[in-house]
Structure 1
Amino acid sequence: MKQEMTTLDFLDRAVDIYDDVTGVVAHDGTEYTYAEVGERVNRLANALAARGVGQGDRVALLAPNTHYFIETLYATNTLGAVFVPLNYRVQPDTVSYILNDCEAATVIADYDFAHKVEAVRGEVPAETFVGYEADDIDGDWADYEAVLADASPEAPERPEISEDDDASINYTSGTTGDPKGVVRTHRTEHWHALVLNQHMEIRDDDTYLWTLPMFHCNGWGHTYALTGTGATHVCQRTFDAADTFRRVREYDVTFMCGAPTVLNNLIQYHDEHDIGTTGDREVRLATAGSAPATATIETVEDEFGWRIIHIYGLTETAPIITTSNSPRRLAEHGRDLKIKQGSETLCTEVRVVDDDGEDVPRDGQTVGEIVVRGNQVMDRYLNKPEATEEAFNARAEGYFHTGDLAVWDENGMVAIQDRKKDIIISGGENISSIELEDTLYDHPDVGKAAVVPVPSEEWGETPKAIVVPAPGSDPSEEDILEFCDDRLAGYKTPSSVDFVEDLPETATGKVQKYELRDRYWGEEDRMVGTQ
């Protein structure tokens, strides 16, 4: 028989089987069992329905990692409505664009970020505004807890929800234009959560710490996977290294996520403070984005005692489509395997193709673009049919094109060389900024690093290293360049080094290289490396 796959399956199972288990620990330490989470979801769903939210309507949420993020997600989908989480770091004009693009009927916002909505309130279609701790918000906002208190705890009647109905819209960062709304159906969210469960080794006794922003791909799908498995969510509003270590110890955390820059912040704090890094149980940490530097992996695993799982994906792919979490291959190849993005996940087809859409050799050297096909891949870009068509058919028809350039080996394990827009082409030679950054992180005086192309009359463009010195260190440009020259081919060595206090980062810890590139290119025409 066929059973429709919906996001509600996950909370339904948690309430049915783990009703007395602590499902969510709020940032302030308040604990909610899964039975209580289910009741709060019912109350919010009933309250939204009373305010006119129905099937297909969009409910937008602007909030950090909170218990009510999880409640809003499930309450929205309970009504057959579509959940739209917003990046809390964006500016009001972007909030306005997104709310208009998705035609949000309702906005729920956190007291720390509601001013971004209030600033554009007259420009957006929403008529219902609910604020968490509304007394601390300027403007006319219904208070979240008061709204729940006035609503029935009984489960509302659900509409008929198809697995092909829209479940959520996640907006991309919009670094090359307006943000794109990535539409995900109940089926894609459901399928991805099952894949995530397998490759992240999620169990019902897991305690997960929310350092990863929940808005990012709905927390990479952990909002579903952890809930359905009966694990415990521990909320941390926004990342803070000291608070992360404290919560790991206090709640005996077993699982968390963190981009390489998050890991570097944790390492820096640990170097400066004599603190414990675990509770009574092993900690595993999933990292994504560019590969962590080898030195970062060694510190986290050897000094913290945490086990790193490297995954790869994009907002459009849920995100997980590959992982290097392979005990069989780790035993054969050792820790160096963890700097690779890995091989395709269950029921996912990943290829690396050339300009003609043909597979490049599995030799670990020939570069191509990663394309993917799988049930977890997005349905479409909202209101952008041409962009959708291009994304699925640019080189290989029917595959989503990631824009990431990579090599793959005889085992089908991919290693990203760069984003198409970040590859540096100097004198006709392709240079991976990721390779250069990995080398820079091996230098003991480098705290953070990024490499971008800068103009060159002779070569068109050359790599520049932008370095945040490690605490207490004072490296020189000559020292950094000599270090790189000893470890890299001559044409790959950075031509210059700038030292800065910090790097621009997204809420998920990724360096915003477009901001760095803009500093050096100004009004000049498009760079070679952005083709």
Structure 2
Amino acid sequence: MEKPLLVTDFLDRARRYYGDREAIVATTGDRYTYDEFGARADGFAAALADRGIEKGDRVAVLDPNTHYHLEAAYGIMQLGAVHTPLNYRLVPDDFEYILEDAGVDAIYADYEHAEKIEAVRDEVPTETFVTNDTDAVDGDWESFDELVDTDETFERPKMDENDVITINYTSGTTGDPKGVCRTHRTETLHAYIVSLHQEIRDDDVYLWTLPMFHVNGWGHIFAVTGMGATHVCTRGVDAGGIFEAIRTEDVTYLCGAPTVLNMLVDYYERHDVATTGDRDVRIATAGSAPPEAVIRAVEDDFGWYLKHVYGATETGPLITTSDARRFFEDGSDARFAVKKRQGLGYLGTEVRVVDEDGTDVPEDDATLGEVVVRGNQVMDRYWNKPEATEEAFTDRIEGYYHTGDLATVDENGMIAIRDRKKDIIISGGENISSIELEDTLYEHDAVADVAVIPAPSSEWGETPKAFVVPTSGDPDEPGTDVDELVSFTRAHLATYKAVSKVEFVESLPTTATGKVQKYELRQREWDEEDRMIGEG
């Protein structure tokens, strides 16, 4: 028989079987069972319905990893409305674009971030504004807690597994941010394979160090909930707080970008701190591989088990894993060669590395090709961008999503990312557009020409570096300085996007047609590295 795959099933299952069990440890110190979590999600759904929100309407959530985000997300989805999580590190102009582009009808925003929405309130189509602390927010906002404390009910509409249920916006690395449309089906099947590959169980205690807005927290708002496990919420990443939560809440599972691992290792080396509670801990990290020394510290010193996974907003996100234990023995140095690779495709996921003609590259671990993927967790489309959707699925080979990452394949079929096709910088797990940074720097009077590339960083893996041709024409007398240009980008963009390194040059390397050869600049910066992307 066939049963529709709906994301509402995850909380429904948890309420049915784990209703009286702890679901959420909130940042406020409150604790909620699955019955209580569900009741608050119901209350939010009823409040939205009372304000005219219907199936298909977009509702945004701007929140760090608190219980409010989980309750809002499920409240939205129970109406068949489209959960649209926002990156809280963006600036008001970014939010204006996204709210307008998605046609957002209502928004819940945490009190620490609501001012960024208030600043563009009159410029967006949004009509309903909700926050978790009205006293801390200027403007006319409704209280989340008051809204959910209600006896009002709502009618769950009939939903189809191919309905769009969430839109995750990319970081705008090649122009304006794109809304990645994910359906009930793609979210559900991704959560199924995440539950399997990440070994999520009902007795897991999951620590939220990974942003919930980031493609729905790598699918964990679904997988952890559906399995009836416990969410431990946070208001940001703090190394000491992570270790304390692991001990006091007996955390068994968490995720973190390589930069988070670096932070934890540094804190551990400077403090006498316990790294586990009563149970074993496993951690997933994604993207560029952590250095071998970091993997060794996490596994040998912390006593944790590390899984290296890979994907993109458009792909679920997760499509590969290095957790292939038949290729290494726990505790042996052979594991590093495996765990530094992005690895093997998830179940039901076809991951290929192809050349310009769409032909698979040889498994020699030397020939570069682009990673393309086909799987049930891959996005449905980009919101209102049919041409970008078409290109993403047809560039080198028909019917596969093209990641823009360049990789090699070894004799076991395991991929390793070596470079990027797109002008993307990934610093501390955040995607940064070199084009956006260049456009911003061009606005400075002292900048005549500029190229921005990723440069190696021991702290962030890679960091934006700008090569600037000054208007004066003299790199020794540029008419500005590094600090001024860094401050200029910080004033115009989200702080994590700002350049951190600047080099003044007489000219930029170009092709015969005048196109800047960023590859030449990157080669120079990464000369002593074994790849052209960051590890950290």
Q: For 1:456 and 1:100, how far apart are their aligned partners in 2?
A: 34
**Does the aligned pair in 2 maintain the 1:450–1:511 contact within 8 Å?**
no
Corresponding residue number in structure 1 for 2:253: 255
Tell whether 2:218 aligns with 1:217: no
What is the deviation of 1:307? 0.9
**Does the aligned pair in 2 maintain the 1:362–1:409 contact within 8 Å?**
yes
- Amino acid of the residue matched to residue 28 of structure 2? D
Q: Structure 2 vs 1, CA of residues 32 and 239 (structure 1 numbering), >3 Å: closer, same or farther?
A: same
What SS does the aligned partner of 1:237 have?
A: coil
Q: Structure 2 vs 1, CA of residues 271 and 394 (structure 1 numbering), >3 Å: closer, same or farther?
A: same
What is the deviation of 1:306? 1.1
Corresponding residue number in structure 1 for 2:373: 372
User: Which of 296, 319, 343 is the aligned partner of 1:321?
Assistant: 319
Q: What fraction of aligned residue pairs are identical, expressed as a percent? A: 54
- Amino acid of the residue matched to residue 19 of structure 2? D
What is the deviation of 1:456? 12
Corresponding residue number in structure 2 for 1:469: none
Corresponding residue number in structure 2 for 1:33: 33
Q: For 1:413 and 1:172, how far apart are their aligned partners in 2?
A: 27
Alpha-carbon deviations, 1:348-404, whole Å to 9, x = none? 000000011110001111110000000100001111111100000000110000000
Corresponding residue number in structure 2 for 1:411: 412
- Amino acid of the residue matched to residue 282 of structure 1? D
**Does the aligned pair in 1 maintain the 2:464–2:499 contact within 8 Å?**
no
- Amino acid of the residue matched to residue 391 of structure 2? E
Q: For 1:519 and 1:105, how far apart are their aligned partners in 2?
A: 45
Q: Structure 2 vs 1, CA of residues 321 and 46 (structure 1 numbering), >3 Å: closer, same or farther?
A: same
Q: For 2:199 and 2:503, how far apart are their aligned partners in 1?
A: 42
Corresponding residue number in structure 2 for 1:169: 167
- Amino acid of the residue matched to residue 398 of structure 2? E
Q: For 1:103 and 1:94, how far apart are their aligned partners in 2?
A: 14
Equivalent pairs, count: 465
Deviating more after overlay: 169-178 vs 15-24:
169-178
Q: For 1:44 and 1:172, how far apart are their aligned partners in 2?
A: 27
**Does the aligned pair in 1 maintain the 2:40–2:149 contact within 8 Å?**
no
1:120-135 to 2 correspondences below 5 Å: 120-135=120-135
Give me the CA root mean square deviation. 2.8
Corresponding residue number in structure 1 for 2:66: 66
What is the deviation of 1:335? 2.8
What is the deviation of 1:289? 1.5
Q: For 2:33 and 2:190, how far apart are their aligned partners in 1?
A: 25
Q: Structure 2 vs 1, CA of residues 521 and 220 (structure 1 numbering), >3 Å: closer, same or farther?
A: farther
Alpha-carbon deviations, 1:453-505, whole Å to 9, x = none? 87699xxxxxxxxxxxxxxxxxxxxxxxxxxxxxxxxxxxxxxxx9xx9xx99
Corresponding residue number in structure 2 for 1:381: 382
1:93-172 to 2 correspondences below 5 Å: 93-152=93-152, 156-172=154-170
Tell whether 2:255 aligns with 1:243: no
Corresponding residue number in structure 2 for 1:277: 275
Q: For 1:522 and 1:69, how far apart are their aligned partners in 2?
A: 49
What SS does the aligned partner of 1:266 have?
A: helix
Unaligned runs of 5+ in 2: 426-452, 470-482, 509-513, 521-536
- Amino acid of the residue matched to residue 405 of structure 2? D
User: Which of 444, 450, 457 is the aligned partner of 2:462?
Assistant: 450
- Runs of 4+ more than 6 Å apart: 451-457, 517-523
Corresponding residue number in structure 2 for 1:11: 11
**Does the aligned pair in 1 maintain the 2:321–2:345 contact within 8 Å?**
yes
1:75-90 to 2 correspondences below 5 Å: 75-90=75-90
Alpha-carbon deviations, 1:208-262, whole Å to 9, x = none? 0000000001010000000000100000111111111110100000000000101
Q: For 2:515 and 2:298, how far apart are their aligned partners in 1?
A: 39
**Does the aligned pair in 2 maintain the 1:422–1:452 contact within 8 Å?**
no
Alpha-carbon deviations, 1:332-357, whole Å to 9, x = none? 94332100000000000000000111
Corresponding residue number in structure 2 for 1:92: 92
Deviating more after overlay: 246-255 vs 323-332:
323-332
Q: Structure 2 vs 1, CA of residues 201 and 526 (structure 1 numbering), >3 Å: closer, same or farther?
A: farther
Q: Structure 2 vs 1, CA of residues 235 and 423 (structure 1 numbering), >3 Å: closer, same or farther?
A: closer
Corresponding residue number in structure 2 for 1:350: 351
Alpha-carbon deviations, 1:5-30, whole Å to 9, x = none? 01001001000001111011111221
Q: For 1:450 and 1:402, how far apart are their aligned partners in 2?
A: 19
Q: For 1:188 and 1:405, how far apart are their aligned partners in 2?
A: 25
- Amino acid of the residue matched to residue 283 of structure 1? V
Corresponding residue number in structure 2 for 1:339: 340
Q: For 1:126 and 1:275, how far apart are their aligned partners in 2?
A: 46
- Amino acid of the residue matched to residue 326 of structure 1? A
**Does the aligned pair in 2 maintain the 1:164–1:187 contact within 8 Å?**
yes
**Does the aligned pair in 2 maintain the 1:423–1:530 contact within 8 Å?**
no
Q: For 1:54 and 1:522, how far apart are their aligned partners in 2?
A: 58
Tell whether 2:207 aligns with 1:195: no
**Does the aligned pair in 1 maintain the 2:62–2:108 contact within 8 Å?**
yes
Corresponding residue number in structure 1 for 2:22: 22
Q: For 2:238 and 2:335, how far apart are their aligned partners in 1?
A: 31
Q: For 1:520 and 1:6, how far apart are their aligned partners in 2?
A: 54
Scaled by the length of structure 1, what TM-score is found? 0.83
